[in-house]
Amino acid sequence: MKLSRSMILSGCFLLMINSKLLAQQVLVTGSQKPMPAEWIDKDTGHKIVRLSGKTGPINNWYFHNNPFLKEKENEGDKMVFSDTDGLHNQVFTLNLKDKGIEQVTSGVSQKKMLSMTSPKTREIIYQTADSIYATNIDSKKTRLLYVFPAGTKGAIATINADATLFAGSYSSPEQAKILQQYPLKSQFFNRIYDAHLLNSIFTVDIKTGKFKVIHEENNWLGHIQFSPTDPNILMFCHEGPWDKVDRIWRYKIKTEETTLMHKRTMPMEIAGHEFFQPDGKVIWFDLQKPRGKTFYLAGADVNTGKEMASYEMTADEWSIHFAVYPDKNMFAGDGGDSTQVAKAKNGMWIYAFYPEENHFRSERLVNMKDHNYRGLEPNVHFSPDGKWIIFGGNFEGNKQTYAVEIAKSE
């Protein structure tokens, strides 16, 4: 039988429609193992795409670390991740526009502690054994930033806005022994807090290689973050039970001034999981007054320390981590299960939040009912173009990274 041109065109058109429908299946998230590469969440109407590397799953970054580098022209924004080249751990980028994968590093050394990107220099900063390197994602040129002296153990955490300093921390050997002896958080958390061992924050001048301890105290220190815009501003926290610690601190590099950013006002009040607004002007944090009863996302002015905004939410809307879009008119949250501090009855969702006066209006984007929060915290991030929220999930039976489209699918 000879096919006419119109019959061939009609067949091609139907094939295109069927392919699109297959790619846009409406499914309950987590109802299949594996899920398709992309689908529409039946409960929310939002499109979800699984982000993968050459060998499969890629890890999502911690909520306050930036895994993205914006496109230079129109080639697509890049997301950084680590994967194996078959033999060794390497650094790769995922093009969020066309899903293309590009290997950035090479060599036999195992790249670990991948924790920073530098928007100013378009570099990825990572640690290999005792050495800190930076590799440019465009030229693939690698430079050695620093080598820790023999016997010195430090962890890098953050790079400042003008790429002149990176910062990190180290603790006393006794603290490491507690972690070795009591590996579970439920075992080590209070023990380390109660021990009040010496902790140190350091900086390294990238140009000169000068190592400098800038702050020390007999408290457990963590969550070290440079401001994304002001190279002189560093933030850190006192780790431990949130109702016992004055947690959030700002440090000025030039003056060595240390300032508490939120003071508790009532018994059992807690504040934490702090992060910078993209323009560097506000520090946002989870605020509960008191713990497990009334829930807010609160913001304090970085320069003055004055609390500027406080948006209330329900226990179901409370999230382990939050993110803020650059225009500050939208936030995201990764929800939580019934075992978390909010004891949510229906809190297992990825959320978009919209400020309305002194509270949030929420929109559910992903049903996370088949996700194990204790096995993986989703850690939400906004994509650089503001069209997607990127998060981690294990509802397929293993750890994966996904993107959910903020606009609802037709």
Task: Work out the pLDDT band at 383, boundaries 50, 70, 90.
Answer: very high
Cα-based angle 398, 400, 403 (whole degrees, multiple of 5): 150
**What average pLDDT does range 172-177 have in this prediction?**
93
pLDDT tens digits for 284-324? 999 999 999 999 999 999 999 999 889 999 999 999 999 99
pLDDT tens digits for 44-75? 999 999 999 888 899 889 999 999 999 988 89
Residues 407/387, Cβ–Cβ less than 8 Å: yes
Task: Work out the pLDDT band at 21, boundaries 50, 70, 90.
Answer: very low
E strand residue ranges, 15-161:
26-27, 38-41, 47-53, 56-57, 68-69, 78-84, 89-95, 101-103, 112-118, 123-128, 131-136, 142-147, 155-159
Q: Is the pLDDT assigned to residue 9 strictly greater than 70?
A: no
pTM tops 0.85: yes
Cα-based angle 194, 173, 128 (whole degrees, multiple of 5): 125
Task: Work out the pLDDT band at 187, boundaries 50, 70, 90.
Answer: very high
Tokens found for residue 120: 């100013």
Q: Among 20-24, 132-136, 152-156, 355-359, where is mean pLDDT lowest?
A: 20-24
Tokens found for residue 14: 């139907």
Q: Is the pLDDT assigned to residue 17 strictly greater than 50?
A: no
Residues 92/101, Cβ–Cβ less than 8 Å: yes
pLDDT of residue 15: 46
Helices 185-195, 173-181: inter-axial angle, 10-degree rounding: 150
Distance of CA 78 to the CA centre of its chain: 15
pLDDT tens digits for 255-289? 999 999 999 999 999 999 999 999 999 999 999 99
- CA dist 125 and 116 (Å) reads 5
Residues 301/323, Cβ–Cβ less than 8 Å: no
**What average pLDDT does range 69-91 have in this prediction?**
89
Q: Is the pLDDT assigned to residue 76 strictly greater than 70?
A: yes
Q: Across the chain, what does the average pLDDT equal?
A: 91
